[in-house]
């Protein structure tokens, strides 16, 4: 492989009787973001720890930035950064001092370390906070500083283990911008997440893992079409037409539609023929619509179809759902 990001083949890892990884293969070429998606305990952190040379696999092989993780761990370590769940910054130091210290530890001269710290503080929107101790930072600022800290050494591959856990949606969006910036710089990213939206928003490709196995992989669009089927959604102009619309959908799709908020009715279908049939029947009955769409299933629906279980409640969008009838 000339495009060196990372690749793993058949990784196996057991902890006592627990099989954490049962033959995991995944890869990303240089500059791409691979999203590793899976519920708690699926094996996501174990994959990262093996690729980051913190843990030896029992079987299989992996290379990162062109070097084998078990035979050339020193070469791998020089080219990677690990960031996410366990922030590695010193609480008592200022943001700037943290970045300078890391630069010094990486053998930069003081002026080089100071310059690199300045660049990263600017890029991560932390210039104002740079002179304050990290102890007073908000969760979002800490996460950005942690990501900045991981970039001091200009890594080729960055591992982000559930980077946005616990961030509110605004802070999460800021972090997403930063992560997109990494891949724009040619950095290869492995991002683990339980948030389907996050994988959809950031990843060039996704590997879904469950019980230590890759159960599906591909681009977000490929995953959605792999599950098969589409959803048709209709919103009648006049809410009084809901019943007649429901009857049409049920008749064409062969099953009762779901009624979502805002008077939208949605039903899964297998092909686009149903769309034309539904449109024709709506016109026949003079039912005006404000929305009529054929769409791929959401990643939530994909996850449900693949694992047989919805993403756990805590994994779903944090904002409260608006009560509309
Ligand atoms: N050091 C360890 N000792 C024993 N079991 C572990 C250890 N690390 C992980 N496991 C187990 O391996 C499985 C996968 O864990 P992990 O990779 O942390 O999953 P995830 O990050 O997807 O939540 C889980 O069943 C977990 O309990
Ligand atoms: Mg984990």
Least confident among 124-128, 175-179, 272-276, 299-303: 299-303
* Percent share of the chain, pLDDT over 90: 58
Give first-to-last CA distance, the chain, whole Å: 54
Task: Give residue 45 CA to ligand 2 midpoint distance, Å.
Answer: 4
Residue of 262 and 13 predicted with greater confidence: 13
The answer on pLDDT for 1 being more than 50 is no
Residues near ligand 2 ion, CB 5 Å cutoff:
44-45
pLDDT in tens, 184-197: 889 999 999 988 78
Pocket test residue of 8, 11, 12, 15 for ligand 1, highest count of atoms within 8 A of CB: 15
Domains of the chain: 6-224+307-324 (3.40.50.300), 230-295 (3.30.70)
As given in the structure block, the two tokens for residue 171 are 């802070």
The answer on pLDDT for 181 being more than 80 is yes
38 to each of 63, 293, 311, how far by Cα in Å? 22, 29, 8
Pocket of ligand 1, beta carbon within 6 A: 15, 18, 20, 38, 40-46
Atom of ligand 1 at shortest range from CA of 209: 22
DSSP line for 24-62? EEEEE-TT-EEEEE--TTSSHHHHHHHHTTSS--SEEEE
With contact defined as beta carbons under 8 Å apart, do 17 and 9 qualify? no
User: Residue 228: left if φ>0, alpha if ψ -120 to 50, beta else—which one?
Assistant: left
**pLDDT score of 13:** 98
The answer on pLDDT for 316 being more than 70 is no
Quote the crossing angle between the two packed helices 110-123 and 139-151, to the nearest 10°: 140
Residue of 1 and 228 predicted with greater confidence: 228
Whose Cα sits closest to atom 4 in ligand 1? 15
**pLDDT score of 11:** 98
Pocket test residue of 12, 43, 49, 209 for ligand 1, highest count of atoms within 8 A of CB: 43
pLDDT range class, residue 84, cuts 50, 70, 90: low
Whose Cα sits closest to atom 18 in ligand 1? 45
pLDDT in tens, 116-125: 999 999 998 8
- The pTM (predicted TM-score) of the whole model is 0.77
16 alpha carbon, distance to own chain's centre: 30
Which residue bears the tokens 């999460």? 172
């Amino acid at each position: 492989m000339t495009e060196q990001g990372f690749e793993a083949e058949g990784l196996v890892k057991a902890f006592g009787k627990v099989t954490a990884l049962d033959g995991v293969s995944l890869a990303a070429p240089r500059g791409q973001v691979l999203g590793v998606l899976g519920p708690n305990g699926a094996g996501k952190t174990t994959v990262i720890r093996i690729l980051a040379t913190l843990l030896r696999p029992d079987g299989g092989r992996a290379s990162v930035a062109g070097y084998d993780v078990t035979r050339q761990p020193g070469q791998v370590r020089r080219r990677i950064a690990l960031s996410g769940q366990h922030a590695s910054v010193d609480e008592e130091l200022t943001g700037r001092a943290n970045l300078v210290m890391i630069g010094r530890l990486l053998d930069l001269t003081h002026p080089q370390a100071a310059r690199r710290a300045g660049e990263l503080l600017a890029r991560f929107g932390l210039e104002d906070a740079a002179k304050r101790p990290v102890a007073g930072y908000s969760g979002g600022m800490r996460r950005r500083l942690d990501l900045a800290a991981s970039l001091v050494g200009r890594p080729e591959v960055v591992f982000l283990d559930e980077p946005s856990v616990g961030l509110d949606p605004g802070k999460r969006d800021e972090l997403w911008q930063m992560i997109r910036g990494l891949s724009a710089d040619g950095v290869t990213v492995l991002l683990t997440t339980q948030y389907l939206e996050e994988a959809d928003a950031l990843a060039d490709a996704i590997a879904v893992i469950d019980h230590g196995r890759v159960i599906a992989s591909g681009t977000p669009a490929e995953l959605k079409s792999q599950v098969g089927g589409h959803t048709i959604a209709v919103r009648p102009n006049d809410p009084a037409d809901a019943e007649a619309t429901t009857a049409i959908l049920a008749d064409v799709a062969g099953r009762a539609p779901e009624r979502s908020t805002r008077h939208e009715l949605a039903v899964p279908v297998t092909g686009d023929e149903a769309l034309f049939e539904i449109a024709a029947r709506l016109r026949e009955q003079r039912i005006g619509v404000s929305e009529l769409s054929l769409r791929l299933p959401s990643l939530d629906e994909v996850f449900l179809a693949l694992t047989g279980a919805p993403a756990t409640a805590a994994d779903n969008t944090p904002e409260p759902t608006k009560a509309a009838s």
